[in-house]
A and B are shown apart, each in its own frame.
Chain A
Amino acid sequence: QVQLQESGPGLVKPSETLSLTCTISGVSISKYICSWIRQSPGKGLEWIGYIYHTGSSSYNPSLKSRVTMSLDTSKNQFSLKMTSVSAADTAVYYCAGDPGAPVNAFDVWGQGTMVTVSS
């Protein structure tokens, strides 16, 4: 059974860097295009970025200047760093996996982790 689990601080100060890690179990990370998605309280879903097992990445243009994703295949993990956070970055952050064709969508999700930006 494939499982994804987010981990990281639940509270980040304004202007600092948000760092989260997603650990995949039950399958090799190479089977998925890995992604981060967030959801602000009471709002919809916002895609943040993708990273392939090769290390290639693609980011939401609206966040690209502040976001970096990386992966550690030996640990079956991938990570998100978002710099210069503000209250607008307060959200539940989900990691998710896209298996590629024919699904071409996120078919596995972590449970989500709430990150609050506050001093």
Chain B
Amino acid sequence: EIVLTQSPATLSLSPGERATLSCRASQSVGSFLAWYQQKPGQSPKILIYDASNRATGIPARFSASGSGTDFTLTISSLEPEDFAVYYCLHRTNWPPVSTFGPGTKVDFK
């Protein structure tokens, strides 16, 4: 069973600052990793799939990298609407089993 660990649990920043979020897998997941943003009262929204590909309509300030066990989501310059909780997700190929990380909350400093 793959376990995803996210750090930090909370990231306190100001608008305009750079945010760097980490997701670590307990064993290699290749590039099968996605990132989601969730705001209060809303469904999660996909930002990144296949470790580094931005989903449709996602601004260029969101970028991601990594493979194997270590992954990073970077928000180059925080906008007010970016303050939210971010989750990473891995899905195995077959049988399909999905695992979410515990999340990183990006809040106002």
Closest to B33 in A: A105
Task: Name the A residues within 8 Å of B89 (CB-CB).
Answer: 45, 105-106
Q: Complex formed: what's the CA distance from A94 to B45 in Å?
A: 12
* Count of residues in A whose CB is under 8 Å from the partner chain: 22
Contact residues of A: prevailing secondary structure: loop
Q: B50, B87, B97, B98: which contacts A102 (Cβ < 8 A)?
A: B50
Inter-chain CA distance A107–B50, complex, in Å, is: 12
Contact of A45 among B44, B49, B53, B91 (CB under 8 A): B44
Say whether A105 contacts B100, CB under 8 Å. Answer: no
Does A33 sit within 8 A of B, measured CB to CB?
yes
Task: State whether the Cβ of A60 lies closer than 8 Å to any Cβ in chain B.
Answer: yes
| Binary B-proximity of A22-59 (CB < 8 A = 1, otherwise 0) | 00000000000101000000001111001000000010
- Cα A33 to Cα B95 in complex, Å, equals 12
Q: Of residues B43, B100, B103, which shows the largest number of chain A Cβ atoms within 10 Å of its Cβ?
A: B43
B-side residues, CB < 8 A to A, are 1, 32, 34, 36, 38, 43-46, 49-50, 53, 55, 87, 89, 91, 93, 95-103
A-B contacts, 13 of them at CB < 8 A, read A44-B100, A47-B97, A47-B99, A47-B100, A61-B1, A103-B46, A104-B50, A104-B93, A105-B91, A106-B44, A106-B89, A109-B44, A110-B43
Q: Which 5 residue pairs spanning A and B have beta carbons closest together?
A: A105-B34, A109-B43, A47-B98, A45-B100, A58-B95
